[in-house]
Amino acid sequence: MLARCTRTFLDIESGSMREVGEEFETTPERLSAINSTRYGQLAEEVAEKPADEPTAPHRDADEAPKRTQRGRRGTRTKTEE
């Protein structure tokens, strides 16, 4: 199961510092143990991503979007004197 940190904490089992937003693999029992401390809920379960996600269609080189050339910002044009 995948879990995401809601608060920074020291994961004693792995010996690493878990930062807010970090996702890590764990078991339901371990997640329950992490959240049963006196510090409250430290991590939450994240829904697993489906294995067969649709991917973006492959583009050939000649189908690539055309890029336009833009001038440089902040440059002055020379005036005739």
Domain around 9: 2-48
- Residue 65 has what pLDDT? 60
- Residue 51 has what pLDDT? 60
* Residue 57 falls inside a structural domain: no
Q: What is the pTM of this model?
A: 0.55
Total number of domains constituting the chain? 1
72: confidence class by pLDDT, cuts 50, 70, 90: low
Query: What is the tens place of the pLDDT at every residue in 33-54?
Result: 999 999 999 999 998 765 665 6
Q: Report DSSP letters for 27-69, one per residue.
A: -HHHHHHHHTSTT---EEEEPPPPTTPPPPPP--GGGSPPPPP
